[in-house]
Amino acid sequence: MPKIVRFHALGGPEVLKFEQEATRQPSPGEVRLRIQAVGLNRAESMYYHGHYLEHAELPSRLGYEAAGIVEAVGPSVDPALVGKAVATVPGFSQNKYGLLGEEAIVPASVLAEYPGNLSPAEGAAIWMQYTTAWGALVHFGKVTKADFVVITAASSSVGLAAIQIVKDAGAIAIAATRTSAKRDELLSLKADHVIATEEEDFVSKVNEITAGQGARLTFDPVGGPFVETLADAAAHQGIIFEYGRLSPEPTPFPLGPALRKGLTVRGYTLHEITGDAEAYRAGKKYIYDRLANGRFKVKIAKTFPFAQTVEAYKYLESNAQVGKVVITVP
């Protein structure tokens, strides 16, 4: 029987356990994947800690993003999918579907082929990061070459995707990271500027970079009190996209700067894109084309074998990585 990962209690990575589960047949609208690689996301860490938007119904599987081979399809699903190498686009409930294992059942609607020039590990590391960033910056933010864009948690996989998207539009990418330890690597990955928020005056640096104009777009997964600082550094009629809540502290609404500048502070999730068929198609084409022609490059920080799943999530939670953490499945 295939091995899967499941947790029976909330907590740190140690709650993740290997179990065996009989091979299942997909139901209508589903496929069964033989998993080759799984891309790790903060969403899963927050999920097993009990801090995610969706609360786990125990026991629960987990895993949003994977690459694999379609082994079987359920009724109403195109049988031509069998044998194809595909990846998954997050946007489903982990209470119902979990991909971390040797096999997984997933909705056919979340499948996306990835370019043949990518490995399965790279294929498992694209759709969450690029689609999330594309939705905020391109679809809603309409980023142009005239823009200054602040990207917080810039060394994350989504942050690095955002840098590539901003640069592709000809705009200026201002990467924010807590310390200067990752400055050189972020610059090598095409960030125009890097601000170490615990070491430098963030607002002064943004004003210096933008000649006092401020950032029209801000892309932030952290939330918490620093949102007030982001608002102080924003441009007139700027938009702050809040796409996560990594901070354990409450997130205040920056009323003063919002009133003075006519700011938009906007909650945003990937589900807004996956739930809009037209936007979803446009985003997937944009991303696929740029990966296929080499304009976008997947940055994998570190890979772990399936047997080291707990260690992989510990590494994810260490914040030491620059790029995506991936588990490879034999």
Q: Which CATH architecture has domain 3-126+299-328?
A: Alpha-Beta Complex (3.90)
Domain limits, the chain: 3-126+299-328, 128-271
- Residues with Cβ < 8 Å from 198, sequence gap 6 or more? 178, 179
Rounded Cα gap, residues 218 and 289, in angstroms: 25
Question: Strand (E) positions, the chain?
Answer: 3-7, 16-20, 30-39, 60-61, 65-73, 85-88, 103-107, 111-112, 148-151, 172-177, 193-196, 215-220, 234-242, 264-267, 300-305, 324-328
pLDDT at 53: 87
State the architecture of 128-271 in CATH terms: 3-Layer(aba) Sandwich (3.40)
The total number of residues written for the chain in this structure? 330
Q: What is the pLDDT along the chain (330 residues), one digit of tens a residue?
A: 999 999 999 999 999 999 999 999 999 999 999 999 999 999 999 999 999 989 999 999 999 999 999 999 999 999 999 999 999 999 899 999 999 999 999 999 999 999 999 999 999 999 999 999 999 999 999 999 999 999 999 999 999 999 999 999 999 999 999 999 999 999 999 999 999 999 999 999 999 999 999 999 999 999 999 999 999 999 999 999 999 999 999 999 999 999 999 999 999 999 999 999 999 999 999 999 999 999 999 999 999 999 999 999 999 999 999 999 999 998
Q: How far apart are CA 141 and CA 168, in angstroms?
A: 14
pTM (2 d.p.):
0.95
Distance CA 65, CA 62 (A): 10
Which residues on neighbouring strands pair with residue 111, listed in sequence order? 88
Distance CA 120, CA 142 (A): 31
Q: Which two tokens stand for residue 90?
A: 């997050």
Give the Cα separation of 224 and 26 in Å (integer). Answer: 41
